[in-house]
Structure 1
Amino acid sequence: MKKILFLIILLGFSYLKAQQFVYKPINPAFGGDTFNYQWLLSSATAQNQFSAKSNSSFNFPNSNSLSSFTDSMNRQILSQLSQKLFGDQFGSGDLKAGTYVFGSMYLEVTQTGQGLLISILNTDTGEQSQIVIPGGS
């Protein structure tokens, strides 16, 4: 029985043939076939999840002068408010706890045990943010 099994295994190995593994690149940039270029490009474009954006940093969504002026005013008011908040917390400020409304920005300033809590709400978009300036009450 063992001899028959040995012969079967020996005959089985004689039929096995090896072949050489050859790497052939697909991408034409790495030596592959140039006819693959269009297929690779269309496949990559189909899988691309990012939208093309303009390279110019000066493209504003609202490019008319009135909205630009309004945005500038909002930035200036928020800048002055933040300066007053820091001045109040660290000296030479006169901002008191309360509620402040600047256009679509709703700010609530409260004094807590952790320090000054500033809650900011944009009523147009619903975005919310909270800032805690550490300090004693």
Structure 2
Amino acid sequence: MKCLTSVLLGLALLPCVSLSVQASELVYTPVNPSFGGNPLNGPVLLNQANAQNHFTQHSSSGSSASSANSALTQFNSMLQSAILSRVSSAVTSSIVGTDGKLIPGTVETTDFTITITNLSAGVLQITTTDKTTGQTTSFQINQ
């Protein structure tokens, strides 16, 4: 009973005992060096990111074959542009007079028909027709 009395006395005196408790503000310290963290954390974070990265880039058939293929494709594209430029120059020379003005008439190529019509004084209508699809495009210019 004596033991119980001392425990009860201790509990009764507990509110009278002052305990010293200290607290401070919480301070956020960034880990990532991009946001102000320690620069020594950079390699660790990069290695963790690379370890979690499961993306793999699929290549079609090796780098040397694809680079040769792209070089060949690029050459063919440049050759096609050069040929189209020459055809365009030939068509332009046949529809433009020596004075630099367009000559009304019709010019036919393998794929297109270009018709230049004089609508009124100085106004020309140019109509381009695609022979395979039949689509036409027209615009007017002042000469």
**TM-score, length basis structure 1:** 0.43
Q: Larger RCO: Structure 1 or Structure 2 (Cα < 8 Å, ≥ 6 residues apart)?
A: 1
**TM-score, length basis structure 2:** 0.42
